[in-house]
Amino acid sequence: MKGKVKDFCTECRRETEYILKPVCVEKTIRGKKYKFRVMNAVCTVCGANMCPRGLMDKNVAMIDQQYRQKENIVTIEEIDKLMKLYNLNKSSLSLALGFGEITIKRYLNGQVPSKEYSDRIRQALHSTDYMEKMLDEHKDLLTDVAYQKAKNEIENIRNSFKKVSPKLLAVIYTLFMLLDEITPLMLQKLLYYAQGICMATTHRELFYEDCEAWVHGPVYRSVYDLFRDFHYNPIDDLRFCLFENLANRLDSTEKKIIERIANTFGSYGGKTLERITHTEKPWIRARHGLPDDMGSDAVIDKKSIRIFFDSLAEKYDFQTDEGVKKYISDKLNISLK
C-alpha cells in the first residue's frame, strides 16, 4: 500500500486511487485511554475515507505494537524466541512459567498478556537463572523429557559463555545494538579496534581477553568458539537476549568508543577490515614472518597493541569519528597499492 493505488470508493461508486495518511485515534483498553497512530486511506477524487483490503489488519497490528511498547508488554516474537531458546513447546513453556497449559498458545495467537505475566516471560528470556528457578518450581507439571531438554539448554548456554568475560559480552551486545548486520569475521576486527582505540584514548584496556594472530587477522578465540556455527554468515543468535543485562558494565566513555567503532569500522565488511589488520604491526610481528596463509595461535601482546595505537593517536584524532575515518582511508589506500 505504498504510493497511489486503487480500490473501490463507496462515495464515487467506482475504483479510484487513494493515498495513505497517518491519523491519531483514541481507544480505551482495560479501562485506560490511549492514543495510537494508524493509517487512513483517502480517495484522491472525492476525499472520502476508504477501507482497502488489508488496511484494517495493518492498523490492528500497529495498535497492538504501540500498546505493547507503551505498557512494556512482551511481543509475540519474544515469546517465540523464548520457546526456541529453551527448546520448549507452547504447553511446556506455559506450565514451566506457572501459567495455564494453553496460555502461551493464546499469546502467540495475539492475546495480550497481563503486565504480571509479561514480566515473567521477559525475565525468563533475559535470565537463565530465573528460567531455571521456574523450571524447578514447576517440575511436577512438566514431562521428564521437557524438563530435561530445558535444563540441558540452560547448561549449554552457560557453558558457551564461560570463556567470555561479562565485559566482552557487553561490548559484543552493544555493537549488535548499533549495527544491522555483523559476521563473525567482522566482529573479531571490531573488537580488536575497540580494544586498541580504547587503549589509545583512555590508557586502559576495554576487556582483558587476548587475541591471537590467525590467518584472517586478530581473533579472540573465545568469541570465535561462541559464534563459530555462523561461519561467514551474519550472526543471528537467540542468546543475545541474555546479554542485555550486561550492558550496564560499560561506562559512558566506553560506550562512546564502541559507538565510534560502529560509526567508522562498522561501515566495512570483515574481509576489508582483515586487509587493514594485515598491514598493521601487532599482527605482523606476532606471526614472526609466517606466510599469510599459514595458521598460528600466537598471542598478539596487549602491550604491542597499546604501543601501536598510541603511535597512531599522535597522527590521527581517535577522539572523533573523522579521525578514525581518516586512518581507515589511509590504510585502505595503502593496502590497495
As a three-state string, the secondary structure of the chain is CCCCEEEEECCCCEEEEEEEEEEEEEEEECCEEEEEEEEEEEECCCCCEECCCCHHHHHHHHHHHHHHHHHCCCCHHHHHHHHHHHCCCHHHHHHHCCCCCCHHHHHHCCCCCCHHHHHHHHHHHHCHHHHHHHHHHCHHHCCHHHHHHHHHHHHHHHHHHCCCCHHHHHHHHHHHHHCCCCCHHHHHHHHHHHHHHHHHHHCCCCCCCCEEEECCEEECHHHHHHHHHHCCCCCCCHHHHHCHHHHHHCCHHHHHHHHHHHHCHHHCCHHHHHHHHCCCHHHHHHCCCCCCCCCCCCEECHHHHHHHHHHHHCCCCCCCHHHHHHHHHHHHHHHCC
Mean pLDDT, residues 202-215 taken together: 96
pLDDT at 50 exceeding the cut of 60? yes
pLDDT at 2 exceeding the cut of 60? no
Provide the pLDDT for residue 277. 96
pLDDT at 334 exceeding the cut of 80? no
Share of the chain above pLDDT 70, in %: 98
Mean pLDDT, residues 251-258 taken together: 96
pLDDT at 233 exceeding the cut of 70? yes
pLDDT at 152 exceeding the cut of 70? yes
Mean pLDDT, residues 142-155 taken together: 96
Provide the pLDDT for residue 244. 78
Provide the pLDDT for residue 246. 81
Q: Write down the mean pLDDT value for the chain.
A: 93
pLDDT at 4 exceeding the cut of 70? no
Mean pLDDT, residues 74-89 taken together: 95
Dump pLDDT digits (tens) for 277-288: 999 999 999 999
pLDDT at 243 exceeding the cut of 90? no
Dump pLDDT digits (tens) for 25-40: 999 988 899 999 999 9
Q: How confident is the model at residue 150 (pLDDT cuts 50, 70, 90)?
A: very high
Dump pLDDT digits (tens) for 183-203: 999 999 999 999 999 999 999
Q: How confident is the model at residue 292 (pLDDT cuts 50, 70, 90)?
A: confident
Share of the chain above pLDDT 90, in %: 88
